[in-house]
Amino acid sequence: MIRGSTLFELMQPHVDASLGEQRSLGVLMLGVQGLRQFNIQHGYESGERLVAKVRALVTAALRPGDVVAQVGPGDFIVLLPGIRDGNHALLAASRVLRQFEQTLDVNGQPVLASVAIGAALCPDHGDTPDALCRQAEAALVDARTSADRMAISPAPLLSGAIEPAELREAIASGQLEMQLQPIWDLKAGRICGAESLARWQHPLRGPISPSVFVAMAESSGMIAEFTRWSINASLQHAVEARRRGLDLPVSINLSAAAIAERGMVEHLVGALGLWGVPPEAVVIEVTETSIIADFEKGADILGRLNGEGVLISIDDFGVGNASFAYLRQFPATELKIDRSFVTGMLGNVRSMQLVKAMIDFAHHIGLRAVAEGVEDRPTLQRLAELECDHAQGWVVGHPKPAAEFFDALRVVA
């Protein structure tokens, strides 16, 4: 097992070759999931044998010139010299993952090992061993909750360039802004709500992607602080809507880490009282992934919120790896159909059929159906014909600062 400077010494010649010869170097971070629990149940010796078998299977799936190094009890770095691009790196990751579709024999006992893989590319995502490892590890965090258990770093060096202290300063100094995106009632033909979306305009770096700073908040232990800011900023907009005589529920996104935070229910309920916002004016949006991360705890927390009168929305419905079984216990009031089904559905019969099936399914179990990613009026019209309840997307409106959002509503009215 190697770490730190020894690992970087191993990687540096490959990084230098990538930069000098202008060819890509793939860096995969592979993690064995559930290893700690396996050690508790079966013993550390069995755990070591399992990890050894994992390494052998990984090596067998790679090319002769690729490098495998163990960097933790169940973590490996894989170097892929001379690959073409990020898709090539993901193909290699896919080959590795296929090795684990069959059970392994560990001390005479069949074991189904679960692994996840994060990928980064030199020079696209970094030009030093440290930066590449951090980017691959950040991708591994995403891969652990992904349906196909692999992910590639989304942006070159950005997440590494922003420090947690900068996010804390952004919250304290007002750099963060909660913008509003309208939600359209397809039956009434009017705006019926708004989704609250965090935006960060960094004074030096410009706009920072929410996927970067939300992930940072989760990984740095700042998710509670960020969630408190998010809730209060959203409720301020709900208050402004009511002051203007608008009946517009505000939707607030909560990540899996935010849901798991101790005292989250109490904080939200307390904030509703503080701002004087009725619970039914708030919709909490959670993804399928966040639901199944810890289903029993998530269902309990959201059940308590729903018991207080807060509405619950399942976001990105249809792309998670959860089953319909969780809906029996989950206190949802609406399903948001993922944009991947809605965008381009007019030119794809299968997508159209799936959207119709999800709308019908939502109605059959007493939930409202909301289509995301609606980009044109023909799609909006077709969704109305399919009896979808609400729609959201660029054809309805882009996210806007709250003042612009409310002023635009006044003009329409």
Q: What percent of the chain has pLDDT over 70?
A: 93
- pLDDT confidence of 410, banded at 50, 70, 90? low
Separation CA 55–CA 112 (nearest Å): 15
Q: Of 274, 285, 281, 191, which Cα lies nearest the Cα of 242?
A: 281
Strand bridging mode 150-152 / 114-122? parallel
Pick the CATH number of 4-156 from 3.40.50.720, 3.80.30.20, 3.30.70.270, 3.90.850.10: 3.30.70.270
Helix (H, G, I), strand (E, B) or coil at 203: coil
Asked if pLDDT for residue 5 goes beyond 60, the answer is yes
Q: Is 111 left (phi over 0), alpha (psi -120 to 50) or beta?
A: beta
> Is 179:400 a contact under the CB 8 Å cutoff?
yes
pLDDT, average across residues 148-173: 77
Contacts of 309 (CB under 8 A, 6+ apart): 278, 279, 280
Strand bridging mode 104-106 / 109-111? antiparallel
Phi and psi torsions of 88, nearest 5°? -65, -40
Separation CA 307–CA 328 (nearest Å): 16
Separation CA 66–CA 333 (nearest Å): 50
CA angle 149, 152, 155 (to 5 degrees): 145
Output Rg (C-alpha) for the chain, integer angstroms: 23
- Look up the CATH architecture of domain 162-412: Alpha-Beta Barrel (3.20)
Q: Average model confidence (pLDDT) for the chain?
A: 88
- pLDDT confidence of 323, banded at 50, 70, 90? low
Q: Which helix (H) or strand (E) holds 183?
A: strand 176-185
Contacts of 269 (CB under 8 A, 6+ apart): 279, 305, 308
Residue ranges with strand state E in 223-269: 250-253
Domain ranges, ordered by start, for the chain = 4-156, 162-412
Phi and psi torsions of 245, nearest 5°? 80, 25
Residue 139 has which token pair?
Answer: 């991708």
pLDDT tens digit sequence for 224-249: 899 999 999 999 999 999 998 888 99
Predicted pLDDT at 125: 87
Asked if pLDDT for residue 384 goes beyond 60, the answer is yes
pTM (2 decimals)? 0.63
Phi and psi torsions of 370, nearest 5°? -125, 125
| The dihedral sign for the CA sequence 123, 125, 131, 133 | negative
Weakest mean pLDDT among 2-6, 22-26, 126-130, 263-267 = 2-6
Residue 394 has which token pair?
Answer: 């660029």
- pLDDT confidence of 159, banded at 50, 70, 90? very low
- pLDDT confidence of 411, banded at 50, 70, 90? very low
Contacts of 194 (CB under 8 A, 6+ apart): 180, 181, 182, 183, 237, 241, 248, 249, 250, 251, 405
Predicted pLDDT at 322: 52
- pLDDT confidence of 157, banded at 50, 70, 90? very low
Q: Of 219, 221, 218, 236, which Cα lies nearest the Cα of 178?
A: 236
Residue with tokens 């995301």: 372
Beta partners for 75? 31, 72
Separation CA 36–CA 107 (nearest Å): 17
